[in-house]
Amino acid sequence: MQMTNTPQPATLDDASSVSRLLALAFADDPMMCWFLPDPATRQAGLGGYFTTLFTRQYVRHGVCERTAAAAAFWVPPHAQDKAVPDEETLRELVEPLGDRAESFRRSVEAAADNVPQEPHWYLAVIGADPVAQGRGQGSALLRSGLAKADAQGLPVYLESSKEENLALYGHFGFEVLEEVRLPGGGPALWVMRRGARA
């Protein structure tokens, strides 16, 4: 089956399909496995998690794009105060995260303390359905967002919770700034930055 990898805006009408494909993309992600440790309920929890973040936060304040089998959420420089979930979003996340909601809250607070001070674009979420990985779905979304940052002459930040993704991001010009651990014995995150391009 031919899958289009042309990025298109993701709207509220796409919430269900975007959340479903991101739940598949992050099913084996170390951070998501830590927040949702039960494999039997992880897919449902991830669906609720991404639906909440998408509908409450990123589709309202960010730049959300999708292809046939991938999605990305970006935070532009004017909305950096929305890069971290607010209190109402955190309350809604209690249901999908269950008893791990407090660990998530502490991680959010730690992330807020480390938001870069320079104007930048932030890649909050990017993922592709595993059956479509390697077919250019995620790369098309990455190029689209990077082009927006380049048009403004601004750097881009992200955190990767999967070590095997570092080389992919490196291919697009990202460099690791530091490795951090989530509070409470959580997994590692790699903070990465791509400098501004002309």
* CB-based contact 30:57 (threshold 8 Å): no
CA distance 133 to 78: 32
Superfamily of 8-194 according to CATH: Gcn5-related N-acetyltransferase (GNAT) (3.40.630.30)
Mean pLDDT by runs of 10 across the 198 residues of the chain is: 78 96 96 94 95 94 95 94 83 90 84 83 95 88 97 96 95 96 89 92
Which residue type is seen at 4? T
Domain boundaries, the chain: 8-194
Give every CB contact of residue 141 below 8 A, 6+ residues apart in sequence. 7, 65, 66, 67, 70, 71, 72, 126
* CB-based contact 149:121 (threshold 8 Å): yes
pLDDT at site 1: 41
Q: Which residues of 153-182 are buried (b: 16+ CB within 10 A; e: fewer)?
A: ebbbbbbbbbeebbeebeeeebeeeeeeeb
Global pTM reads 0.93
pLDDT at site 3: 55
